[in-house]
Structure 1
Amino acid sequence: MDFWTRLIANTPLSARSTAKDAARDPVRRRQRFEKEYSSLLHTWRVSSNLTKDVDAAETIEMRLQELTNILTDESRRPLPHPCISFCATKKIYVPIAKIATSSYNEWIIKEAVLFFATLIESEEEAFVENDEFAASLTNLLVRITGQNSIRLGSDTEIRVVELAFNITTKIRLEPEILPTWFKAASVPTQAGPEKFKDDRERFEGRSQKQDFPLFYLLMDYIHHEGKIGDFARTGLLYVIEAASSSVSLEQWIVESDLSTLMATGLGALYSQLSRKLVIDHPTQDLPPILALSDYQHPETTHEIVSSCNPDFQLHLETFLSHLLFWQDVLNHCRSLEIKSTLLEHFQIIFLQQLLYPSLLESSDVDGGSSVAVLTYLRRILESLDHPDMINLILHYLLALPDRDSSRTLSTEPSVSAARKRKSMDLASMMASKVESTYEPLLFNLVDLIQSCLKSKNQQTVSVTLQLLAAILKRHHRYAIVTLLHTEAVNPQTSQRTVGAHQQEVEFITALATSLGGHQDVLDELYESILKDSMTRVESHPCSLKLIAPQLAATNHKLPAVPESVPGAPREVPPHTLRREDPILNSMMDIFETFFINSVETNLSVTEALLDLAVCGHIGIEGWLLRHPAKYIFDGAIDEDETVPEQSSNGDNDAEEDEVPESISELDTLKAIAKCRRYPKWQASSLPRTLRTLESLADQVELYRQSIPRFDDLLQQRRDAFQTADAALAPDPPPVPSKSVTPGQDQTPVDGSRAASPARPSALEGFAQRIFSELSTPTKSRSASPRGRGDGTLASNLFGTPNKPLPSTPRDNRPEHETPTKGGRLRSLSPAVHNDGNSLDAAAKSIPASQLAAFAAIDQEILGRKVGLPSKRLEAIPLRFNTKNATEDSSKVDATGDDAQNSDPATAETVQAPVTNTEESDQPSQPTKQSGDGEDEIGIAQPSGASTPAGEKEVTVSHVITNVIVLQSFLFELAGLVQVRGSLFNEIKFA
């Protein structure tokens, strides 16, 4: 037994030792390599057909794999490397390439590709510089990827394209090896114009692929996803980059069909996108702000696709990735002729033939084609940042006039002639197409945006505002001469005084504060928004030259915007909006119906208005704030606002010399005091923007008067957003929050009532999850539906800093009060006035049965339909059967210590509701008005006894969410005005 054990154990050890010795010995290693190669050739020669001879094919595969392993092992060992030298001297890669191309066997092809890759990676014997090696490898790659080749697996294709990429990397690092792979014999380097006529045919059809087959191999895979697409695109970029050092390659690329293939490929991907689209969100990931509104999932068909459809998202991402590849090509291309050729094909084939016709033919009445094309255009503009591509798109779609350009083109006559021939070919190709007659002369993007802003389709309005915001935020210089009606502005005469500035900021913040909320939380909110506003202003493209430190004369100037296409707007001059601007007035029309708009529309219009006002070159006086020319001041400057007069005792020369200086200082102080005065607040001097915002605040006050428990419901909604934000935040710290107001909305709105339509199913699941968490400790930071920072619909509203809202010093200006809309500043709910301890005590003192009744009544109120408010308020009874709800709740709480909790009649004898929430520290409670367990509470209908026919109605829940959106926007607007005043020298202090 021991003998056999020793025998079996020792045999492999001896064999391994022999193999290691053979690998270490260069002579024995080469003998082994030659033996494997001879066996490979013998098997190939004796086999008549490898496609049918399975054994021979398997033997060849194994021999190739062994050859590759020997080369890989040798490359890691010290010199000499006889096997690699044998491959170079005997040129064994030539028969190996022939074997692979004729085998039609994927496994043999894969091993042959690995063999060539190993030789290239060895960086010995100058394989990449050898013409025969390049010809053999090129022939192999072309044959195995051609039309008549077998279908390769994804793994083999990746290895093929990776091998081609490795070659382009070598070319990039060593440009002198380019002639080995690119045979430009047919391309004249120096010739007269008559020579190009004879050579033109050599640049057409398949013959051109023979000059640089590796180039076209990469072109075939640039549209693929994953590794294979990355290798192909990057390798092609390296080839285009190498054209800057080779006139022959530059001319070849210009006359090749690179630009045509790229443009048509981009157009094909765009054509795959759905023509009709609706914006939707997955039910399981519905943003809280939409779940707590009247959001309903739009209907989809086989033609109308949802934006959250996985297939649609994949197609859109594929299109955008190829668009970014265009941008990468232009960034890597140092040849102006190649770049101009690419841009010309981009404009004619993609813009004129596809993108513009889709905009022209879009409509918001055919199921969402306007939504689709406007969304696609927005994503295009948001994805690109190359100035030439942006200029081409906006210059064409906005119908900007062409301007002569003195661009310096290539000095090589051969490249210039090739460029002209390519342009002529493109013009003749497009001349026969009917689509080429589309020109944005009578109808352009400006007309489309203006018409879509007046659409009755809320999604069309929303996506149009998002597109408008993208243009204003990223490409403002294109908007001032097209989308916006502007006029020149004199910065000296349009400066607002510091007093007027502070008065207007206080007015906007007063409107925001009047909507309710805890004062300390609002202070933190405003401080956080100030930081966000500073970031927004500083990141605007037009802000660089305005806020950057002035450079010394010896320093370099700020970089100019690059331009290689004529017609691009250059510097943005100081300007302001005219009051009759159609875009601004359309936005104000949308604000007029703010509370019945969809939440997405309101988020879009507020974002667009902020982006309109963020540019430092646009003056906000006259259309957003009052114009200084309309300031009216009451009386003269008070004496106590200046310094006391200087004493005149003594008549020496020194005192006489001080008199002029004192007079100058006195004049300066008077000028400062004059600028600190508050102008008289007159409604006639207010622009439509401020009047509209003030009207919205008045509408909230009317809602507050007509809707029972309005402030309680509003605070509950803030808490709901706070809870949702805490739940979405990563690993929030366990900081306890304020207690819950009794009567808080605990369950979803009942959709079974006949008086109220069914609520969306998305709200039911979300509300159950959110309201059930309101009684548990959560993060104390409040949340907002605004989502400015990350572009989402739900993000932080309440920040953490502790800077208070700007206050008004009343010591020197008792006669100039800031308009605060009466007592609206303090119309807060009882939950706001109570501290945490009193709220806890109040909650604990109310039986669970009554809490359930409160929740049920809140559901009833939230589900009521209302329209836009008016000053005519007429109470309509809202009847709700609290008896059944009390009975159900009492059954659950029957085991409690308080015996009255189990008595259904107890809930029928609760106190009368407190109609004035400012005079009570206790939550309002329902009143027993009639028999049969039915409680009746009054809810005023905004427009008389019934809403007029045709007027849109939304639920109270929807109105409350829009109130929170409005409050956040008002704070953002105030913060933007305050930041602009400190950065752009808009304030006059003296």
Structure 2
Amino acid sequence: MDFWSRLIAGTSLDKSAANNTHLPEKRLARFKKEYSQLLQEWRNASNLANDYEAAEDIRCSIQDLANFLSDESRRPLPHPCIAFAASKQIYVPIGKIATTSYNEGIIREAVVLYATLIDSEEEDFVENETFSKSLMNLLVRITGANSIRLGSDTEVEVVELSFNITTKIRLDPEILPAWFTAREHEESEGGQDAHEKFTGKTHKEDFPLFYLLIDYIHHDGRIGDFARTGLLYIIEAASNSVALEQWIVESDLATLMATGLGALYSQLSRKLVIDHPSDELPPILALSDYQHPITNYEIVSSSSPDFQAHMETFLSHLVFWQDVLNHCKSVEVKSTLLEHFQVIFLQQLLYPSLLESSDVDGGSSVAVLTYLRRILEALDHPDMIHLILHYLLALPDRTPAPTGSRASVSAARKRKSMDLATMMQGFQVEDATTPALFNLVDLIQGSLRSTSEQTISVTLQLVSVILRRHHRYAVTTLLWTSQIFSDGSPRTVGAHDLEMDFLLGLAGSIGGEDNFDEVYENHVKDCMGILESHPCSITLIAPKSAGGTTKFAGSLASIPGAPRDIRSHTLRPEDPMLKTLLGILATFFTNSIEINLSLTGVIVDLASCGFMRIDGWLLPNPTEYTYGEDEAEAEDRYFMGLGDPIDVQERAQIRELKRARRTPKWDENRIPVLLKQLKKLVDQVSAYRAEIPRFDELLQQRREAFQAATSATSTPIPIRQAPPARSSFESSSRSVSPPRISALDSLAQRIFPELNTPSRSHSPRGRRSQERSSGGGLSGGYGLSTPTSRAAVPPPQFPMGLETPSRGSSRAFSPSPLRDAETILGKHGVPASQAAAFAAVDQSILARKVGLPVFKGEINPIPFPNLRPGDNGNGKEESNGGAEDGSLQDEGEGNAEGEVEEEKKVSVNHVLTNVIVLQEFLLEVAALVQVRAGLFGEVRYV
């Protein structure tokens, strides 16, 4: 019978094998046999590094043992194999085999076996000191300097195994002594506590798992993630062990982390230019005079993949610092880390790089200012932010107050501070410049006066980040402010209506044919998100507690010297920052697109703080309102006919309501300079409209090109329709409403994707989002900034010609031969040849160079020497050949004798884009004023 069973496949032999796996006794017998065979093969092998056949047999045996243990851990009890492994300590010889084999296959299978024993959660392997010593001896030997080079997969398994151990320590702090063996010290007679009994001698042998993870925290991918998270768990466990806390303080953790961060910062390029890849150029830059900056082996582009990889690595390690501080519950450990961060990174690396930067050596100012901005954007831990800004802004120190349960500093902490001071003595230079002599404010003010557009742009972005995220540090440093001790008299509703009408009137006078109400509503939503997310707003809009106050301790730094709670304040008229912003705003139309987006962002961020009063610098001061005499006399009639007290009270209430609805009269001498400058910019737009042929048609085409840029993937370029109905709040002086330019939001966000604030889905100046900060430029084929002898051709995806019929407008346009042609052709359309000729004329207009309009009494009375050369003085152009046929002359022809040519000139193409940015900014300012009025109660109705 046995003979026939052996001849038939799948009978008795398979049943026996199945019984061996299901029956615990037979499973244990096979496990013992496999283990004995492993030991026999190991004893017979002379040199596993050279005997590949023996090494492969041993690897297979260890793999079979691991499979036995893994399979048994998933089966019902009992588990005799796991119990045998614990009683016979089979991991000890297996660890020795892997350590001495110098064979990656054997090492990897041994690591898997150790991981299987830990995951089984039986026999208390993770609490066994013999097990921990055997495992750590293996891991230290295979990752040490003299070990073989492990493959990436094996390294991942090694670090993952270490991470699993830290996870169990975090869940059960009682198992820590098995992995951390701090030396015991006899208690002194003075009754010192555990903090004072620590002698300050640390060794890697005390906690090898700790140093193993430190070696991998700078790696990318899964290895770095496992190492950093595991180290966080160990630091978190220090709050439950005084011995571990003091050991970490005296260890190399703080030094290694600070020097590692400094090394990553030093790898960043010293010189940088902001740029975009040619194939990812944002349309808002393509439709301007932007050109790619020059790069070489020294000057690196921000779009370089290598630079972006270095930047992301540095920022990820910086965020790891923040995570460590967030997980650390030990004041001693946290103070040690912060001290090393300040001394090694801030004082020795970051500040010297700011001090040595310059905008005349190819972009070192652009580099360090960009790095500082990215640092401030990446961090939100109040202690790290405080250290950076307190030191760089040279804020005064305050006397530290005792914190925590112990006012004294432990002996370990004192020794670590002394060691750090001794180490830094070798780096000190006599007469070295400190922030007390040259601080971040000096650097910012100097950079804003630079002749480099990129330096100005990145400086404005840095100022914007400080104002938006760390406003309390800017109140007494970047800004000259006056504190407001009383609530004062808020604006009346009549004054508010006048101011809103003024701002909306400025935006409306620029023109446009889109839905004004929809555009403004989107800006209101955006501003609501900006104001509500501002760090200072939470104390103003959050519900009050029963006591009438609400505290948010988590937002303040825990170390001494942090700024006090911010109070109501306003800008002083002589504020240097405000004057600088006004100076940059004066050349708005000749500024680069990046400068204008950054500039308007700073102004919005300056007015976004709820404690910053906008009266006096953005809006007229309510204390200086003046009213007409007729209105003042009309008020006295409410005091007449005194009689019934109820009637008197009602008349008084009506009187107050009418007083609040009065419209004040603006005194030209008391209007804020910022409003005057905005009005001047709008007047300059009118001057451009009067001098540039087809200005409104070209502006509308530009607006539709931006709209098409964001919807190109889903919808074609929109077909023009009849003008919509006039907006409900449009004044009689405006015949058309401002355009809806939702496309430019994503365009600006693509320019500055690293700024993380509420979405601005319908704003062309959406400056805030996640990602890198980079500029862009035109490829050589676009030619928007070439001499006018060569017609400029915008990118093909943004057509500027006459292929799309133009919508009508109620305003009379400047004389143009193109308009005459349209009138002659009428409804019959334009022939293809004529349409091509008209498009060429449009491109010629876009390529012309213009300067800033100059009004009466200003220097340089000829603002547009290259436009309308055929004007005969009566407002009409001659239509004969040459320069008299309505075409435009090349730059340099037709200039008046003795004219000064020093002013900066840009193309009409560039001006059109800046006009759209200005209009959106005016709408945003109006929305900001309206939202502040309701959110912060800045308008009174009685």
Which range, TM-score by smaller chain? 0.7 to 0.9
| Corresponding residue number in structure 1 for 2:850 | 866
| Corresponding residue number in structure 2 for 1:289 | 284
| Corresponding residue number in structure 2 for 1:42 | 40
| Corresponding residue number in structure 2 for 1:445 | 440
2:491/2:622 contact within 8 Å kept: yes
Alpha-carbon distance in 2 for matches of 1:145, 1:592: 62
Alpha-carbon distance in 1 for matches of 2:850, 2:7: 90
**Does residue 715 in structure 1 map to residue 666 in structure 2?**
no
| Corresponding residue number in structure 2 for 1:787 | none
**Does residue 929 in structure 1 map to residue 880 in structure 2?**
yes
The one-letter code sitting in structure 1 at the alignment partner of 2:830 is I
Alpha-carbon distance in 2 for matches of 1:31, 1:552: 72
| Corresponding residue number in structure 2 for 1:501 | 496
- CA deviations over 1:108-166 (Å, ceiling 9, x no partner): 00000000000000000000011100110010111111111111010000000000000
**Does residue 958 in structure 1 map to residue 917 in structure 2?**
no
- CA deviations over 1:259-308 (Å, ceiling 9, x no partner): 00000000000000001000001111111100000010000011110001
| Corresponding residue number in structure 2 for 1:984 | 936
| Corresponding residue number in structure 2 for 1:337 | 332
Q: Tell me by how many angstroms 1:647 deviates.
A: 8.4
| Corresponding residue number in structure 2 for 1:854 | 838
1:642/1:666 contact within 8 Å kept: no
Alpha-carbon distance in 2 for matches of 1:753, 1:615: 39
Alpha-carbon distance in 1 for matches of 2:894, 2:201: 75
- CA deviations over 1:477-506 (Å, ceiling 9, x no partner): 000011100012255435222212211111
The one-letter code sitting in structure 2 at the alignment partner of 1:738 is R
Alpha-carbon distance in 2 for matches of 1:409, 1:462: 44
Alpha-carbon distance in 1 for matches of 2:136, 2:407: 30
1:495/1:987 contact within 8 Å kept: yes
Alpha-carbon distance in 2 for matches of 1:616, 1:76: 61
**Does residue 756 in structure 1 map to residue 754 in structure 2?**
no
Alpha-carbon distance in 2 for matches of 1:80, 1:401: 69
Q: Tell me by how many angstroms 1:755 deviates.
A: 4.8
| Corresponding residue number in structure 2 for 1:627 | 621
The one-letter code sitting in structure 2 at the alignment partner of 1:394 is L
Alpha-carbon distance in 2 for matches of 1:123, 1:769: 63
Change over 3 Å in CA distance of 1:186–1:220 after alignment to 2: farther
The one-letter code sitting in structure 2 at the alignment partner of 1:505 is M
| Corresponding residue number in structure 2 for 1:423 | 417
- Specify which of 123, 139, 142 is matched with residue 140 of structure 2: 142
- Specify which of 78, 85, 93 is matched with residue 95 of structure 1: 93
**Does residue 663 in structure 1 map to residue 645 in structure 2?**
no
| Structure 2 stretches lacking a partner, 5+ long | 724-778, 816-821, 856-860
Q: Tell me by how many angstroms 1:194 deviates.
A: 9.8
| Corresponding residue number in structure 1 for 2:594 | 600
Alpha-carbon distance in 1 for matches of 2:462, 2:470: 11
Change over 3 Å in CA distance of 1:197–1:554 after alignment to 2: closer
Alpha-carbon distance in 2 for matches of 1:948, 1:393: 47
Matches within 5 A, 1:214-613: 214-409=209-404, 411=406, 416-434=410-428, 437-518=432-513, 520-553=514-547, 557-559=551-553, 561-613=555-607
Alpha-carbon distance in 2 for matches of 1:757, 1:426: 66
| Corresponding residue number in structure 2 for 1:801 | none
Alpha-carbon distance in 2 for matches of 1:696, 1:254: 59
Q: Could you say what secondary structure the match of 2:410 adopts?
A: helix
Alpha-carbon distance in 2 for matches of 1:971, 1:384: 32
Alpha-carbon distance in 1 for matches of 2:225, 2:302: 26
Larger mean Cα displacement after TM superposition, 601-610 or 559-568: 559-568
1:47/1:53 contact within 8 Å kept: yes
Change over 3 Å in CA distance of 1:190–1:497 after alignment to 2: farther
- CA deviations over 1:437-466 (Å, ceiling 9, x no partner): 452111000110111111110000000000
- Specify which of 796, 811, 814 is matched with residue 768 of structure 1: 796
Change over 3 Å in CA distance of 1:59–1:310 after alignment to 2: same
Q: Tell me by how many angstroms 1:751 deviates.
A: 4.4
1:626/1:685 contact within 8 Å kept: yes
Alpha-carbon distance in 1 for matches of 2:515, 2:11: 77
| Corresponding residue number in structure 2 for 1:785 | none
Q: Tell me by how many angstroms 1:405 deviates.
A: 2.7
Alpha-carbon distance in 2 for matches of 1:321, 1:987: 45
The one-letter code sitting in structure 2 at the alignment partner of 1:240 is I
The one-letter code sitting in structure 1 at the alignment partner of 2:454 is Q
Change over 3 Å in CA distance of 1:740–1:664 after alignment to 2: closer
| Corresponding residue number in structure 2 for 1:703 | 688
Change over 3 Å in CA distance of 1:216–1:775 after alignment to 2: farther
Larger mean Cα displacement after TM superposition, 588-597 or 662-671: 662-671
- Specify which of 21, 24, 28 is matched with residue 22 of structure 2: 24
Aligned length: 867
Alpha-carbon distance in 2 for matches of 1:980, 1:752: 41
| Corresponding residue number in structure 2 for 1:797 | none
The one-letter code sitting in structure 2 at the alignment partner of 1:425 is D
The one-letter code sitting in structure 2 at the alignment partner of 1:577 is L
Change over 3 Å in CA distance of 1:367–1:191 after alignment to 2: farther
| Corresponding residue number in structure 2 for 1:686 | 671
The one-letter code sitting in structure 2 at the alignment partner of 1:249 is L
Larger mean Cα displacement after TM superposition, 667-676 or 940-949: 940-949
Q: Could you say what secondary structure the match of 1:138 adopts?
A: helix
Alpha-carbon distance in 2 for matches of 1:307, 1:752: 23
- CA deviations over 1:900-930 (Å, ceiling 9, x no partner): xxxxxxxxxxxx9x989xxxxxxxxx98421
Q: Could you say what secondary structure the match of 1:576 adopts?
A: strand
TM-score, normalisation: structure 2 = 0.86
Cα RMSD (Å): 3.5
| Corresponding residue number in structure 2 for 1:738 | 720
Alpha-carbon distance in 1 for matches of 2:118, 2:899: 80
Alpha-carbon distance in 1 for matches of 2:812, 2:691: 15
Alpha-carbon distance in 2 for matches of 1:830, 1:75: 87
| Corresponding residue number in structure 2 for 1:791 | none
Matches within 5 A, 1:190-209: 203-204=201-202, 208-209=203-204
1:980/1:986 contact within 8 Å kept: yes
The one-letter code sitting in structure 2 at the alignment partner of 1:119 is L
Alpha-carbon distance in 1 for matches of 2:898, 2:6: 99
Q: Tell me by how many angstroms 1:851 deviates.
A: 1.6
Alpha-carbon distance in 2 for matches of 1:968, 1:752: 24
| Corresponding residue number in structure 1 for 2:52 | 54
Q: Tell me by how many angstroms 1:329 deviates.
A: 0.4
| Structure 1 stretches lacking a partner, 5+ long | 1-5, 649-655, 742-746, 781-824, 832-837, 882-911, 917-925
1:707/1:939 contact within 8 Å kept: no
- CA deviations over 1:714-739 (Å, ceiling 9, x no partner): 111001001102126xx56x895425
Change over 3 Å in CA distance of 1:435–1:65 after alignment to 2: farther
Change over 3 Å in CA distance of 1:74–1:195 after alignment to 2: closer
The one-letter code sitting in structure 1 at the alignment partner of 2:294 is E
Alpha-carbon distance in 1 for matches of 2:34, 2:711: 67
TM-score, normalisation: structure 1 = 0.82
Alpha-carbon distance in 2 for matches of 1:197, 1:942: 85
| Corresponding residue number in structure 1 for 2:921 | 969
Larger mean Cα displacement after TM superposition, 57-66 or 865-874: 865-874
Alpha-carbon distance in 1 for matches of 2:843, 2:467: 41
Residue identity (%): 57
The one-letter code sitting in structure 1 at the alignment partner of 2:58 is I
The one-letter code sitting in structure 2 at the alignment partner of 1:683 is E
